[in-house]
Structures are given as structure tokens and as C-alpha cells.
Amino acid sequence: MQTLQNLNPQNVWKHFEDICCIPHPSKHEQALCEHIIQFAKNHKLAYKSDAVGNIVITKPATAGMENRKTIILQAHVDMVPQKNADTEHDFLCDAIQPRIVGNFVKATNTTLGADNGIGIAVILAILEATNIEHGTIEAFFTVDEETGMTGAENTAPDFLTGRFMVNTDSEIENEITLGCAGGLNANFKFLYTETPVPDNFTAFKVKISRLSGGHSGFEIYENRAHANALITDIALKAVQKFNAHISCISGGTMRNAIPREAEICVTIPQERTEQFENFVSEMAVVLKNIYAETDPILSLQCEHIELPETAIEPTRMLQIVQFLTQLPQGVISVEQQTAAMVRTSNNISIIATQGAAIEIQCLLRSSDNDEKQTLARCMQQLAELYGGTAIFDTDYPAWQPVWNSELLEITTQALQIIYNQTPQLCVVHAGLECGILGEIFPDMEFVSIGPRINNPHSPDEEVEIASVERFFNAVCEILKLSPKK
């Protein structure tokens, strides 16, 4: 590929380019894990892996630093696989194609995997370097962060020896993350029967696409267009206004990404065809005006398709779309101290029609566990009211901030040296593995830092080139400042 070899630091970009060549979507990280283990073997570094695939590589202290506390450098090895609808890309087989666009590196119509590939690359570059002062380093690589955090969740209490962990999964420069929201997966299922579509009906596919999407934690407060919310609103109006029958509804591909595309297949009485087409055209104008700033290339299209033989029984379909339009979506509550800090949210992530059922997947996030559980109960009651079932799983805790830790002190000093200004301290609404790991290692101190990454979890993901070098230097400075035992 050799696209990034002239960028600095060269070793970091070399490793990142190697990572791009190895498919590693969530739950399919084995090849990248094998690459990391081979790296350890090539550099004669001690390593171990556990039953779920997590890896620890240990690098001894450099001369004169043997009396320093161990620093754990942590990154997750999976990436979010998102692509534009018209892009041919198999995330299980095809390499990511990075390209330089101005001051940024981005992929070609797919997610880049800078989240958390840059973190991996920085850690590998440090492990192979011979000119960086450091105490003992434990490089900790976890699997399946993006879809369940099962790597962190299944880490054994004796897998790590250090008690200072630098998580590399943040996306804002010169900012130290000290806490994050917890999460809970919600899964709803609605069974249905089918009825014949009358011969005097006409069929359409209505598709909303080209939305900005993004990370359902970081961008949830921006009120970006949400494909699943919009398509269900259109479906409800089609049923109520035009006596439409719906044969399928679908949208979204990842639980932790704001859906960028969704569609419904509808059948309309032939005498209402023109009215329906006008309705969709009017909706397109309205939505483009509403989301002109957040989703400037939003597209809502309506096209004729072959008339299906059957559709979802109309009364049942009305119940399902009423549930979807009443399901809490987006920001639910904010912290009292500042409206800019989301406390609780829900993302209606995936809607799929399959096997005589409509299945809906959501991701609830909250920094308040009681509020998260209350929201879950309300959603369950709503589903049961409309004849559906609800199952919740992957309940992970919030990471509660500690504002006066020894690790925070040296991280603040390191970033002030590199950026020549005091770093910001923050708590984010996105989920990080530190909350789970904090329950396994209650005496461990955590911080999270990173380079500048825009639009993670979407094909518009990009990383600022210059920020990667500053991030690398900041991590090196933390190692240099590691306190004595």
C-alpha cells in the first residue's frame, strides 16, 4: 500500500498502515492479534494471551528506570465496520484503503479504524523503540471493545501487574478523559403474520441515506439526522395517511453508530400513488431544511419496485411503528451542571425484518446506573404494551472519575510539556473499557488520551496527521515521568 510512509513519526504510521492491511472488525480480530504476537516474537519481548484473545506484551525498563512504577499502555484491537451503501468492501477480507486528504488521513468510503488503530500503532512503535526512557511497560491489547467490551470484561485479575493504565481510545487532543458513561444493550422482537397485497396496489421503496451518522456517544448530543427515527416516522405517516401496507423495514448496521441509512418497502392503493410520491418529495424538502447544517447531503428517495405478494398484517405493523416512534431516542437527560454533558441517551441502532419478525437493537448509555435501569424498564413496558418482547444484555458500568490521582498528575505534566498549555479534564458520554477494568482492578488508576479523530464510527472518520506525532510524544513523556516505586 505504502501511502503513509513519509508521515511522522514514521514508525507509528508504518504500523498503522500494516494494521489497515489486516481485516479486524469486532469479533474478527484473530489475524491482527496474531500480527501483534508475531511482533512480540520478532522483538524478543515476553507476551501472553488469554482465552478470549487479549494480549499483554511486557517490555523491561530502560537503564536507570528500573525503580519506576509500571505503566500499562492499553488499546483495543477491533474497529467499527461502516461503509457507504454504494461502496464494495468486505470488512472480513478487504484491506482499509487510507489516503491523505489535506492535513488528515481518512479511508476510501469506509471507516478508517484510527479508533483504536492509532493507539495500537503508537504502542507498537514505543515497544520497538530504543531511544525512549521508560520503566517497565505492559502493553495491553483487548478484543471486542466496540460490540460488547467482552475482552475487558473477561480479563483475569492476575493478567496485569501494573496499577497505572493509560487508555489510548480518546479522540480529542490535549484532553484527559477521567470518566465515561456505562451502557446496556436492549433487544426487542415483534412477531407478525403476513397478508396478501391487493392487486390494485403499487409498491415503492423509500430510502433515506447519505446522513452524517457518527459515534452514538460522542455525537448523540448534536441532533444529527437519525435514519431509523426518520424512516419509522415516514412509515407511520404512510400507514395512517395512505392506508399503506409495509412488507419490510430496515436500517443501521452497528449498535454504537448513529444510523446513516434506512428504508421501507411500502404498497399504496393505486389511486393514492401520486399523493404518496408528493408526500415523500415534500418530506425530503422539510428534512433537508431541518438538517441543513448537520447532514448537508441528506437524501430521501422514492422509487417504484415490483409488487410483493404479501405484506406485514396492517394492524400489527401499525403497532410496531407506533412502538418505534414512541421509543425514547437520542438525549434523554443532561447533567445539571452543564447542558453540554449528556447523562443518559438511547440509540435505536438497528432495525431488521427477518423470519416473520421485526427485531430492534438499541444501546442505552448513562453515567447514572439507576437512571439507566429506569429507562430500560420503561422501554420494556412499552414493548410489552405493543405485544413485543425485550431482552437486555452487556450491562457495563460507568467509569467514575478520580480527580486527584498520581497518574493524572504525571499525565497533566506530560501534556502540558507537549502542548504548552494546561490540558482539559473531561467525562465523556461514550463508553470506555476503564469502567469495566476498574471493577476488576479496584486499585488501578486510569486516564484516557488520544489524537484528534473526527467522525469515528462513520465513513467520514479521519485523523489529523500532526496530532498523531503530538500524541506519540505525549505518551513517551508520560513514560519518562513515571513515578518511583
- Residue 416 in any domain: the answer is yes
d(CA 447, CA 428): 12
370 lies in the same domain as 437: no
pLDDT at 451: 98
**Last residue of some domain: 368, 396, 424?**
396
Q: How many domains does the chain have?
A: 2
In a domain, 474, yes or no: yes
Give the β-pairing of 71-76 and 137-142: parallel
Residue 431 is assigned to a structural domain of this protein: yes
State whether 242 and 349 are in the same domain: yes
Buried/exposed code over 300-336 (b: 16+ C-beta within 10 A; e: otherwise): bebeeeeebeebbeeebbbbbbbbbeebbbbbbebee
The Cβ-side half-sphere exposure at 165, using a 13 Å CA radius, reads 29
Per-residue pLDDT, averaged over 385-409, amounts to 94
Residue 2 lies in a domain: no
Helix %, strand %, coil % for the chain, to 5? 30, 30, 40
Looking at the structure, do residues 319 and 355 belong to the same domain, yes or no? Answer: yes
Domain boundary among 380, 396, 412: 396
Distance CA 227, CA 331 (A): 16
Chain center to CA of 103: 23
Question: Which uninterrupted H or E stretch holds 441?
Answer: none
C-alpha closest to that of 252 among 261, 241, 243: 261
Both 471 and 458 in one domain: the answer is yes
- On whether residue 91 sits in a domain, the answer given is yes
Beta-bridged to residue 263, according to DSSP, are: 207, 250
Query: Of 396, 415, 434, which residue is a domain's last?
Result: 396
pLDDT over 60 at 337, yes or no: no
| DSSP letters for 1-65 | --SSTTSSSHHHHHHHHHHHTS--BTT--HHHHHHHHHHHHHTT-EEEE-TTS-EEEEEPPPTT-
Number of Cβ within a 10 Å radius of residue 270:
12
Per-residue pLDDT for 479 more than 90? yes
Residue 119 and residue 209 in one domain = no
What are the DSSP E strand ranges found in 258-399? 262-269, 299-305, 310-312, 330-334, 342-354, 357-366, 389-396
262 and 326 fall within a common domain:
yes
Hey, what's the torsion of the CAs at 462, 463, 466, 470, to 10 degrees?
170
Residues 201 and 345 in one domain: yes
Report yes or no on 5 lying in a domain.
no
Average pLDDT, the chain: 95
CA–CA distance, 341 with 427 (Å, rounded to integer)? 8
Distance in angstroms (rounded) separating the CA atoms of residues 74 and 54: 11
Cis peptide before 9 (omega within 30 of 0): yes
Q: What is the DSSP string of 307-323?
A: PPSEEE-HHHHHHHHHH
Which residue reads 496527521 in cell numbers? 465
What cell numbers appear for 196 in the block? 396478501
Place of cell 443532561: 334
Res 338: pLDDT: 52
Here the cell at position 150 is: 467482552
Question: Long-range contact list for 314-318, CB < 8 A, 24+ apart?
Answer: 314/195, 314/239, 314/245, 316/190, 316/192, 316/193, 316/387, 317/192, 317/235, 317/239, 317/245, 317/246, 318/236, 318/239, 318/240
* Element (DSSP H or E) covering residue 294: none
Q: Which of 179-188, 215-224, 357-366, 461-470 has the lowest mean pLDDT?
A: 215-224
Rg (CA), the chain: 24
Measured CA to CA, the distance from residue 113 to residue 454 in angstroms comes to 12
Q: Do 59 and 196 fall into the same domain?
A: no
* pLDDT tens string 179-231: 999 999 999 999 999 999 999 999 999 999 999 999 998 888 899 999 999 99
Rounded to 5°, angle at Cα 380 from 376 and 382:
120
Position 8 scores a pLDDT of 96
Indicate if the pLDDT at residue 256 is higher than 60: yes
Give domain status of residue 1, yes or no: no
- Percent of the chain at pLDDT > 70 equals 99
Which CATH number characterizes residue 164's domain?
A: 3.40.630.10
pLDDT of residue 148: 84
Spatial distance between the Cα atoms of 386 and 322, rounded to a whole number of angstroms:
8
Q: Are residues 367 and 377 in the same domain?
A: yes
pLDDT given for residue 298 in this prediction: 97
d(CA 176, CA 349): 28
234 with 153, same domain: the answer is: no
| Residue whose C-alpha cell is 419496485 | 305
pLDDT value of residue 5:
85
**Beta-bridge partners for 57:** 47, 139
pLDDT at 431: 87
Give the span between the Cα atoms of 142 and 45, in whole angstroms: 18
Flag whether 3 is in a domain.
no
Give the residue numbers marked as catalytic: 78, 145
Which helix or strand (DSSP H or E) is residue 352 part of?
Answer: strand 342-354
Tell me, what's the pLDDT at 336?
A: 65
What range defines the domain where residue 159 resides? Answer: 10-181+398-480
User: What CATH number does the domain containing 262 carry?
Assistant: 3.30.70.360
Residues 58, 80: Cα–Cα separation, whole Å: 27
The per-residue pLDDT for range 269-322, each reduced to its tens digit, is 999 999 999 999 999 999 999 999 999 999 999 999 999 999 999 999 999 999
What is the average pLDDT across 419-440? 94
Instruction: Tell me: do 149 and 48 sit in the same domain.
Output: yes
Grid coordinates of 60: 523491561
β-sheet bridge partners, residue 364: 184, 346
Q: Is the pLDDT of residue 95 over 80?
A: yes
In this predicted structure, what is the pLDDT of residue 314? Answer: 94
Q: Tell whether 144 and 247 lie within a shared domain.
A: no
φ, ψ for residue 222, nearest 5 deg: -85, 0
